[in-house]
Amino acid sequence: MPELLDSPITGSQASHGVQAFIIPGSITDPALHSIAEKVAAGTPLDFDDGMALWNTRDIFSLGMLANAMRQARHGKVAYYNINRHINYSNICALSCKFCEFHRKRGEHGAYEYNLEDIYRIAGEAAAAGATEVHIVGGLHPWLPFSWYIEMLSGLRQRYPQLHLKCFTAIEIDHLARLSKLSVREVLVALREAGLGSMPGGGAEVFDDRVHDEVFKGKLRSDGWMQVHKIAHELGIATNATILYGHVETRAERVRHLIKLRELQDEAPGFQTIIPLSFIPDGSELGHLPGPTGLEDLKMLAISRLMLNNFAHVKAFWIMQTMKLSQVSLDFGVDDLDGTVVWYDITKREGGAGNKHQEQTVQDIRRVIMEAGYIPAERDTLYRRVIRNGAEWSVENT
């Protein structure tokens, strides 16, 4: 059993460059040697490098390279947070084929929370010591823009300590159409009401073929990137995702990552890449098998290696499972997300209406320590949290 590490964290714990963590003699695939040199030199990997990483059978060298990049940034620290997801409604104007969540109004299983429901849930989260609520939903056809403003301002007034991470780029674009405001005006209004940052959902795969086959009608990649670019220009931090393991090719995944890296260069503001493993259960693509564990590990490691200008790579345990997320800490991942509690959008092996999906802090910390890493509670903006039960503050940096 590995040594359990649970020491206080000082600084970044990352005192060495990438090169210090690369073991060239262990690489058995010759195609990875030039990639190792680029990783050591901090040179961005190109499309051919990305494909070589996908095609390699030398999974341990792939992990070693991704982990070199991870350790140079974060040392042995692995982050988590105490959060609560609130999916305010599954009523959606669209019907993306990969989505098991959406319903039309009146359809069996359709729901919408009212503002009091949302305040109550957020209040439970705040009382339990959460630092963040993560709020996303379907593209509700009738809720007015003022409802979203009222939701945020009501939450901020009641629970000023909670960071409000809300609305994918798809929802922001929807709100702009609904309100007849520009995306910039919508983001400014939401920020004034309490928006703290944006999650990274809705990116799916940046490719028109995949878009037209699986999520036609949804914002295209240029629109998604434009929303995030404007958010970054306004100083709103965001995350990014890729939904992999359905109809896309490996080449399309690599191009997606390169587009994200280019946008980060152009308009910095992404904190974290969150590769989302497609869960077919209950969706129109339920006949597909979904990614295997090896594909999950490769996707996480390749994301780390391709996105050298992203600070963090997260394994979202709901998608990759906590068991594989634990292993992924040796494959470039530095963040395991958080307690979540309820997540209505998807659930492995079917939810049967019950989407209670919760990890305790003790379990998250145990998983991290057993893997040989140091658990560090963070807030949404990756500041270290100093905690005393449900009371908390952030470390001065």
Residue 319 near residue 299 (C-beta atoms within 8 A):
no
Nearer to ligand SF4 by C-beta: 99 or 341? 99
Please tell me the distance from the alpha carbon of residue 249 to that of residue 41, in angstroms, as a whole number.
29
Question: Residue 191 carries which side chain, given as an amino acid letter?
Answer: R
Smallest gap, in angstroms, from Cβ of residue 92 to ligand SF4?
3
Smallest gap, in angstroms, from Cβ of residue 135 to ligand SF4?
13
Rg (CA), the chain: 20
- Establish if 227 lies at the interface with ligand SF4 (CB under 6 A): no
Instruction: Give the 3-state secondary structure percentages of the chain, helix then strand then coil, rounded to 5.
Output: 40, 15, 40
**Within positions 354 to 393, which residues make up the interface with ligand SF4, using CB under 6 A?**
none
Stretch 133-172: interaction string toward ligand SF4, x if CB under 6 A:
-----xx------------------------------x--
- Establish if 92 lies at the interface with ligand SF4 (CB under 6 A): yes
Stretch 199-218: interaction string toward ligand SF4, x if CB under 6 A:
-------------------x
- Establish if 327 lies at the interface with ligand SF4 (CB under 6 A): no
Which region among 41-49, 99-107, 154-162, 252-260 touches ligand SF4 (by CB under 6 A)? 99-107
- Give φ, ψ of 37 to 5 degrees: -65, -40
How many positions of this chain bind ligand SF4 (CB under 6 A)?
11
Residue 343 CB contacts under 8 Å (≥ 6 apart), including other chains: 85, 87, 318, 355, 357
Q: Which of 35, 69, 99, 143 binds ligand SF4 (CB under 6 A)?
A: 99
Residue 149 near residue 193 (C-beta atoms within 8 A):
yes
**Reduced to 3 states, what is the DSSP secondary structure of residue 324?**
helix
Give the Å distances, CA to CA, from 219 to 26, 175, 188, 215. Answer: 44, 12, 20, 9
Nearer to ligand SF4 by C-beta: 106 or 235? 106
Which region among 40-48, 93-101, 180-188, 311-319 touches ligand SF4 (by CB under 6 A)? 93-101
Smallest gap, in angstroms, from Cβ of residue 257 to ligand SF4?
21
Which region among 91-99, 251-259, 292-300, 362-370 touches ligand SF4 (by CB under 6 A)? 91-99
Q: Which of 73, 84, 102, 253 binds ligand SF4 (CB under 6 A)?
A: 102
Nearer to ligand SF4 by C-beta: 171 or 335? 171
Smallest gap, in angstroms, from Cβ of residue 170 to ligand SF4?
5
- Residue ranges in 234-360 assigned as alpha helix (H): 250-266, 293-306, 317-320, 322-328
Smallest gap, in angstroms, from Cβ of residue 276 to ligand SF4?
11
Torsion of CA 320, 376, 199, 104, to 10 degrees: 50
Nearer to ligand SF4 by C-beta: 129 or 199? 199
Please tell me the distance from the alpha carbon of residue 273 to that of residue 241, in angstroms, as a whole number.
6
Q: Which of 19, 34, 95, 309 binds ligand SF4 (CB under 6 A)?
A: 95
Nearer to ligand SF4 by C-beta: 46 or 281? 281
Residue 89 near residue 137 (C-beta atoms within 8 A):
yes
- Establish if 312 lies at the interface with ligand SF4 (CB under 6 A): no
Stretch 41-80: interaction string toward ligand SF4, x if CB under 6 A:
----------------------------------------
Question: Residue 205 carries which side chain, given as an amino acid letter?
Answer: V
The CA-CA-CA angle for residues 123, 351, 358, to 5°, reads 40
Give the Å distances, CA to CA, from 276 to 230, 245, 269, 388. Answer: 24, 9, 20, 33
- Establish if 101 lies at the interface with ligand SF4 (CB under 6 A): yes
**Reduced to 3 states, what is the DSSP secondary structure of residue 85?**
strand
Nearer to ligand SF4 by C-beta: 34 or 95? 95
Residues in contact with ligand SF4 by the rule CB under 6 A: 92, 94-96, 99, 101-102, 138-139, 170, 218
